Chain A
Amino acid sequence: MTGFVKRNAWVIGLFALFAALVVLTRTIQPDYGAAGFGSLVQAVLPFAFAVAAQTVVVIAGGIDLSIASMMALTSVTAAVLMDGQTESFAILVVPMVLLLGVLLGAINGALIVISRVPDIVVTLAMLFVWQGTALLVLETPGGAAAEWLKSLLVGTVAIPGVPTAITDWIPRALVVLLVCLAVVFVPLYRSRLGLSIYAIGSNNLAAFRSGVSVGWTRIAAYAIGGLFAAMGGLVLTLSTGIGAPIPGPYLLASVAAVVLGGVALTGGTGGIVGPIVAVFILRLVRSDLTFLAVDPNVTTIVEGAIMVVVVMLGALLALRRRAT
């Protein structure tokens, strides 16, 4: 028990911080309840997928600056494919878009491995490539999304036999998020590939000498990142009903949540739970500022400042760790 607490001290601390923030929100806004939680989860959804994508890549010792662009590209692709099609056609669109995401991520990874140019430069270049491609797919916001897919993200889950007072607190978006994360992360944690990803992030050379195929593992990590970015892109299309070719503010948010979630930017440590809780915290801070009737533009400044400070502290911690 104490071992579990010690190992997960950071994540437990994050949960405590989140709980404290919820209490604070209740004092600011006494009628903050199930409905507020539901809209929080919906707002968090695209950020959470961006964070999941960044987490895998950062654990593997890299960084992907093109996540927001990949989300825009997959989002417009989904919107264009679903435009003017029957409701049932959408069932084909979802796997196609997810596959596209895997492909985009794999291209990022392959370019890094083949060109030997650092991750940060390659993905910066790819940021513009994917963004430009998104503009080619769809010049102005448009397209459509299937109704039944859209309804997956709104409302709450009804479980027979459970009073609505409880199910009100289980928004469908939360279920979608947890299922999507679990489907990828649970097998990954238990597989050889998952271990290899931690290995190359923690010590590239040691991993290579232990027989890990470093290049392929790196490509796989980026491909999984691309898969999550595609999920994020789909969520964007489904929540707005259209696709927009402009990348959203997901890059910096994903990096900040990864750092706040206890994943070192140097790679090899951390898990997915911390960053996901962190992204909930960052979003809740934003809604608190809104409840306090702070000018939304000032909110952007405060949010940016919080993220910058978080990243600074993360870098300071990494510096300390390296020094000792």
Chain B
Amino acid sequence: MTATTTAPPALSPGRRFRRFMADYPIVPLIVLLAVLMVVLEIMRPGIVNERWVANTVKFAIPLAILAACQTMTMLTGGIDLSVGTIATMAAFIVATQTPVHGPAIAVMIALVPGVLIGLANGIGAGVFRVHPLIMTLGTSLIGTGALQVYQRTVIATGSEVPDALAWLGTGVTGGFPNALLVFVPLAAVIIYTLRSTGFGRLLYAVGDNEKASRISGVHYWQVIVAVYIVSGVLAGIAGLLYVGLIKAPSLSLAEPLLLPSVAAAVIGGTSIFGGRGGYAGTIVGALILRVLTTLLTILHMPEGLRDVLFGLIILVVTAIYLRITSDT
């Protein structure tokens, strides 16, 4: 037998470029981020300085954590639209429980709704096979109702944002926002989990080809329940940091972050159809969105136009990734 090795067919520059984009979406993303910052600097000379960077990062962190929820659920082919409600609940509960039980216990209580809603989402999506989008929308509706009922029971207690959360959310030490103390380890764990652990592989496997993963012995529902619980807890943590940043808990605190969190994950190269993407891109995506928001604010763009723009970004980017990945 003569072993003939066939050289891989030479790719055209266009194909090669598209494959590169599909494999390393983070490179063009960082370029885009730099371009946006240059545009910002040209429009308002002197705006890009140490304080501005710290501020941008500070606001990008809660968004990036919520986008982690979207990244992980999207890898399995799902989405989590309840994160806005979970974050709002965590923020509101921690602010109202602190005067009663002290900050430590309040934080623990605040993370409970995230676990419960995540569990419900996981059971609905994993066991009953409801489309995650509809399931998470439903649980977020229930969560909002529950929060309103809860609000009426705590009117008398008043609210107080724990000092530690305010320090984490708003404080800046030596040019670095204190929230990085939470975010850097968290991001490292998420990236490590997705890249190098069995659980991470399971997320990709389930999202890429559910049938194949099932035949290989993966318990689909266990993976889905686990990922939605993790998503719920992360959303709760994001809510805690966000209330430390905003310092004014309300019943719709984190809802405006929902769409940007999906947009950040989509821009970051995570496929909404599952099986492709990662968290590093999402973080850059969240930064891009924050810079873009600054840009739109400077241009005096009304809130409505921002919604339109974010919606179109999700649509266009998804369509582009679909084109890039369909023929490689």
Q: Which residues of A contact B (CB under 8 A)?
A: 63, 65, 111, 115-118, 120-122, 124-129, 131-136, 139, 245, 249, 251-252, 255, 265, 295, 297-301, 303-305, 307-308, 311-316, 318-319
Chain B, interface size category, equals 35 or more
| B45 close to chain A: CB less than 8 A | no
19 A-B pairs (CB sep. < 8 Å): A63-B131, A111-B315, A117-B315, A117-B319, A121-B315, A126-B315, A129-B307, A129-B308, A129-B311, A135-B304, A135-B307, A297-B152, A301-B149, A304-B142, A307-B138, A308-B135, A311-B130, A311-B138, A315-B129
Q: Which residue of B lies closest to A302 (CB)?
A: B145
Q: Which single member of A63, A127, A295, A312 contacts B311 (CB below 8 Å)?
A: A127
Q: Which residue of B lies closest to A132 (CB)?
A: B307
Q: Which residue of B lies closest to A295 (CB)?
A: B149
How many whole Å from B66's CB to the nearest CB in chain A?
16
| B312 close to chain A: CB less than 8 A | yes
Main secondary structure of the interface of B (DSSP, over half): helix
Q: Which of B280-328 contact A (CB under 8 A)?
A: 302-312, 314-315, 318-319, 322
Chain A residues with CB below 8 A from B129, complex form: 315-316, 318-319
Cα separation A170 to B126 with both chains bound (whole Å): 45
Chain B residues with CB below 8 A from A297, complex form: 145, 148-149, 152
How many whole Å from B322's CB to the nearest CB in chain A?
6
Asked if A124 contacts B314 (CB within 8 A), the reply is: yes
Chain B residues with CB below 8 A from A131, complex form: 304, 307
Cα separation A129 to B313 with both chains bound (whole Å): 10
Asked if B149 contacts A298 (CB within 8 A), the reply is: yes
| B170 close to chain A: CB less than 8 A | no
Cα separation A304 to B120 with both chains bound (whole Å): 13
Asked if A125 contacts B314 (CB within 8 A), the reply is: yes
How many whole Å from B222's CB to the nearest CB in chain A?
17
Q: Which single member of B302, B303, B312, B318 contacts A129 (CB below 8 Å)?
A: B312
Cα separation A121 to B129 with both chains bound (whole Å): 18
Asked if B131 contacts A132 (CB within 8 A), the reply is: no
Asked if B128 contacts A316 (CB within 8 A), the reply is: yes
Q: Which residue of B lies closest to A322 (CB)?
A: B129
Q: Which single member of A115, A120, A251, A303 contacts B319 (CB below 8 Å)?
A: A115
Asked if B138 contacts A121 (CB within 8 A), the reply is: no
| B124 close to chain A: CB less than 8 A | yes
Asked if B318 contacts A298 (CB within 8 A), the reply is: no
| B141 close to chain A: CB less than 8 A | yes
Asked if B137 contacts A252 (CB within 8 A), the reply is: yes
Asked if A300 contacts B141 (CB within 8 A), the reply is: yes
Asked if A120 contacts B307 (CB within 8 A), the reply is: no
| B146 close to chain A: CB less than 8 A | yes
Chain B residues with CB below 8 A from A313, complex form: 128
Chain B residues with CB below 8 A from A252, complex form: 134, 137-138, 141
Cα separation A307 to B149 with both chains bound (whole Å): 19
Asked if B146 contacts A301 (CB within 8 A), the reply is: yes
User: A121-B272, A308-B124 are contacts. A128–B311 as well, Cβ < 8 Å?
Assistant: yes
Q: A304-B139, A319-B128 are in contact. List 9 more A-B contacts (CB 8 A).
A: A111-B315, A117-B322, A121-B272, A121-B314, A128-B311, A133-B308, A134-B304, A252-B137, A301-B146
Cα separation A318 to B322 with both chains bound (whole Å): 28
Asked if B318 contacts A139 (CB within 8 A), the reply is: no
How many whole Å from A294's CB to the nearest CB in chain B?
11
Cα separation A63 to B130 with both chains bound (whole Å): 13
Q: Which single member of A125, A136, A319 contacts B315 (CB below 8 Å)?
A: A125
| B188 close to chain A: CB less than 8 A | no
| B144 close to chain A: CB less than 8 A | yes
Cα separation A214 to B149 with both chains bound (whole Å): 47
User: A120-B131, A308-B138, A315-B130 are contacts. A128–B146 as well, Cβ < 8 Å?
Assistant: no
Identify the 9 closest CB pairs spanning chains A and B, nearest first.
Answer: A132-B307, A135-B304, A128-B311, A300-B145, A132-B308, A301-B145, A129-B311, A308-B138, A136-B304
Most buried by A among B131, B304, B305: B304
Q: Which residue of B lies closest to A120 (CB)?
A: B133
Chain A residues with CB below 8 A from B273, complex form: 118
Chain A residues with CB below 8 A from B33, complex form: none
Cα separation A298 to B310 with both chains bound (whole Å): 33
Cα separation A136 to B307 with both chains bound (whole Å): 10
Chain B residues with CB below 8 A from A245, complex form: 304
Cα separation A131 to B308 with both chains bound (whole Å): 8
Asked if A312 contacts B124 (CB within 8 A), the reply is: yes
| B259 close to chain A: CB less than 8 A | yes
Q: Which residue of A lies closest to B152 (CB)?
A: A297
Q: Which residue of B lies closest to A126 (CB)?
A: B311
Asked if B145 contacts A304 (CB within 8 A), the reply is: yes
Asked if A132 contacts B124 (CB within 8 A), the reply is: no
Q: Which single member of B128, B308, B322 contacts A116 (CB below 8 Å)?
A: B322
Cα separation A124 to B272 with both chains bound (whole Å): 12
User: A118-B273, A124-B314 are contacts. A136–B137 as well, Cβ < 8 Å?
Assistant: no
Q: Which single member of B130, B272, B304 contacts A132 (CB below 8 Å)?
A: B304
